[in-house]
């Protein structure tokens, strides 16, 4: 019993994925003034890149921890931030969208399927859908029906 208790830690372990302090770092980026070099200096390389009419760079920050022993140590999501940056052909930041965990919960996903979507909308929809799926089932253990 003494060995079991001595191995317990009082500090919670927080798993961090992506860019640390994404919310504060994204505030330094100014629309129509910041360029690709500024973005790479402040945030580093993007988590996901896509090219359509303009470049779209996506940055992710995710922190999770395990809950107490009374809930059997389930994972709890602390922070889930996504930053979507749109960069024009000459490398200037033209649009940025910052989504936190509350914004993610407010996004309504349609159950309907369409065959014709612009590639830009399709990419963002698929990315956010996969992110929602990972949030709802982080271990991938739920059966897909």
What's the structural domain count of the chain? Answer: 1
Token look-up 């360029």 returns: 35
For 123, the domain range is 14-136
Inside any domain, residue 143: no
Is 141 contained in some domain?
A: no
What element of type H or E holds 49?
Answer: strand 48-51
Positive/negative CA dihedral, 117, 120, 126, 131: negative
Backbone angles phi, psi at 15, to 5 degrees: -90, 125
- Please give the biggest Cα pair distance in the chain: 65
Query: Would the pTM count as exceeding 0.75?
Result: no
pLDDT, averaged in runs of 10, over the chain (145 residues): 57 78 90 92 89 82 78 77 91 91 72 62 74 75 58
> Quick one: pLDDT at residue 70?
66
What span, in angstroms and rounded, lies between the C-alpha atoms of 61 and 102? Answer: 14
- Whether residue 2 is contained in a domain is answered as no
> Is 142 inside any structural domain?
no
The answer to whether position 8 is within a domain reads no
Residue 82 included in any domain: yes
Residue 37 forms part of a structural domain: yes
Question: Does residue 4 lie within any of the structural domains?
Answer: no
Output the pLDDT for position 14: 76
């Amino acid at each position: 019993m003494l060995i079991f208790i001595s191995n317990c830690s009082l500090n919670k372990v927080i798993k961090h994925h992506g860019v640390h302090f994404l919310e504060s770092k994204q505030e330094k980026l100014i629309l129509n003034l910041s360029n690709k070099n500024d973005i790479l200096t402040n945030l580093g390389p993007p988590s996901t890149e896509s090219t359509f009419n303009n470049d779209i760079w996506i940055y992710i920050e995710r922190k999770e921890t395990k809950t107490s022993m009374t809930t059997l140590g389930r994972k709890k999501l602390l922070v889930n931030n996504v930053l979507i940056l749109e960069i024009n052909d000459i490398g200037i930041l033209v649009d940025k969208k910052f989504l936190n965990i509350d914004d993610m919960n407010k996004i309504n996903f349609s159950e309907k399927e369409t065959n014709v979507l612009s590639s830009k909308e399709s990419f963002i929809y698929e990315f956010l859908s996969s992110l929602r799926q990972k949030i709802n089932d982080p271990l991938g253990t739920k059966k897909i029906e």
